[in-house]
Chains A and B, each alone.
Chain A
Amino acid sequence: MTSWHIDDAGLRDWIGHRERAEQAASVELHLLACGDCRERVRDAHLYEDSRAPALDLVWGRVRAAIQTPRPSVVERGLRRLGLPAADARLVAAADAFRGPWLMGVLAVLVFVVLAAQFGRSSGQTAFLVVAPLLPSLAVAFSYDPSIEPALEQELVTPYPRVRLVLLRTIAVLGLGAPVVLAISPFAPGGAPFLWLLPAVGFVAAVLALSTWIDPLRAVAVVGAVWLAVVLAAAYDTSAAVILDGPYRITYLAVAAVSIGVFALRLRHLRELRTGRSGL
């Protein structure tokens, strides 16, 4: 037996699960040693006073467990990769992370690789036109206003828009990376990973251009320029020359300049485009 006892309020808080963990542990240790206080726990008056909050707490947890849906496959995957649960939810909310869309992009990539393998020079040209654009297209889909219907609500929250955009960009590229790496050895040419250089430049260019225009339009602009460059090279000699030395430096320069422009114009991501409807 001990010489002191837990006061009524403390006991009620313990029964009602309102104490912090360390305080509750202290009460429990005391109860193990004190028969008088154990008797008081059984006291009907104390129990009645505390039962309602305890039931509320339990009911709240039951309701939360029922209402809180199981995260999607993508969201669970992102969590397993180490992304905090809140960030995983923000990333997975984008349509670009829905299964059919992801599978569609990857299917296109597989088809152009197959075309390059079996379609000779025209297959190679098709691969070089399409493959480097796919990562930027996937990125654009992850935050384009036309694909992201909740944009207007999202914009006026304190969460940094640029963080959301970059988070989704990294997630898109991260999710696609294993497939890209698995497919690249079958890409045409002696250096199968070289096509990723323009792809990196295009992703950066789309991010930069999206501070002026919507991301999907930015992909269209970049794609049009790229198509002209590849076709011109194919007409002149071979489409493969666009992966040669001088071009590589250009892609890196495009990436570097674009990142700079993006950093300078970040604030334009924080507001609606003026072209959106409604007066």
Chain B
Amino acid sequence: MTATIEIDSVGRRYGSTWALREASFTLGPGVTGLLGPNGAGKTTLLRVLATALPPTTGTVSLLGHDPAVPAQQTGIRRQLGYLPQELGFPRGFTAFEFVDYVAVLKEWTQPDARHEEVARVLDAVGLTHSAAKRIRALSGGQRRRLGLAQALIGSPRILVLDEPTTGLDPEQRATLRAVLAEVAREAVVVLSTHQTEDLAALCERVILLDGGRVNYDGTVVDFVGQAAGRVWLATEPDPRARASWRTGTGLYRNIAEQAPPGAELVEPSLEDAYLLLRGAAPIQAATR
């Protein structure tokens, strides 16, 4: 596997607050998901990977280049696509104009080739028929897909997506998954999400961040395996469980080391593993 992202002991501080500490990993082509609660450092890490923010400590290598060196940073940015968490659009633009604008910034100066590329990425995210619409007339999900379209310009080798599925309906999420699966054949895709089902459907690898530190880094299968033998379905919530909540069937799902009385051991899900590994305060569902 060709490593295209390598970070070593990367930390980022805002004033006296460390948003990210001692993060180290190597990524190659494929989709890697960042998981973690709000404030865990996901956005900071993605901004560092997108060259939007320099790290306070540690080293970053993207496609074998050092983003701290201006000439190399430009080289990296030529092969980078980025969807920020807070997506902004110039006022009054249509969807086509916005993507065209970003394409100009990405050095697509030849108008015919640029317009063709803009049409391609809009088509990839299913916005061909909304190309001439003003952005203010688009729905939240369409705007998110428009953000993804601008990130896809030029088929980047590194794609950094901060919560790409926010605001998308299930059908749109399925479209997004198909697009990313195609892109990830050759590119490194790093995304953050709160949707564990997206991680399960999309990612080969998961990195769990908590309090600015990497708490887990491994395959999704191994990640889920962390909770094996610890997830129980019972008729009552278990007070000793790390997390316990009522499911749609009326039974309680308990994440616990010991079997609650009369409980049945079940297959763990990604969400179970997430709750287990977070090591947060126990989560207890309200009783009926």
CB pair B89 A279 closer than 8 Å: no
Residues of chain A contacted by B132 (CB below 8 angstroms): 66-67, 69
If A85-B111, A90-B101, A270-B73 touch, whether A156 touches B80 (CB-CB below 8 Å) is yes
Q: Can you list the 4 inter-chain pairs with the closest CB atoms, starting with the nearest?
A: A149-B88, A157-B105, A152-B84, A159-B105
Nearest-CB distance from A9 to chain B (Å)?
Answer: 24
Residues of chain A contacted by B80 (CB below 8 angstroms): 156
Q: Does A253 contact B (CB under 8 A)?
A: no
CB pair B70 A267 closer than 8 Å: yes
Residues of chain A contacted by B116 (CB below 8 angstroms): 60, 64
How many residues of chain A have a CB within 8 Å of chain B? Answer: 40
CB pair A67 B119 closer than 8 Å: yes
14 contacts across the A-B interface (CB closer than 8 A): A67-B115, A68-B96, A72-B92, A94-B90, A95-B90, A148-B88, A150-B101, A153-B151, A156-B52, A157-B105, A274-B14, A278-B44, A279-B14, A279-B43
CB pair B70 A153 closer than 8 Å: no
Q: Which parts of B112-141 form the interface with A (CB within 8 Å)? A: 112, 115-116, 119, 131-132
Residues of chain B contacted by A164 (CB below 8 angstroms): 105
Q: Does A82 contact B (CB under 8 A)?
A: no
Nearest-CB distance from A141 to chain B (Å)?
Answer: 12
Q: Does B235 contact A (CB under 8 A)?
A: no
Known: A153-B87, A157-B102. 19 other contacts (CB 8 A): A67-B115, A67-B119, A67-B132, A68-B115, A149-B88, A149-B89, A149-B90, A150-B89, A152-B82, A152-B88, A153-B83, A153-B88, A156-B52, A157-B107, A158-B78, A158-B107, A164-B105, A278-B85, A278-B86
Residues of chain A contacted by B52 (CB below 8 angstroms): 152, 155-156, 271-272
CB pair A151 B43 closer than 8 Å: no
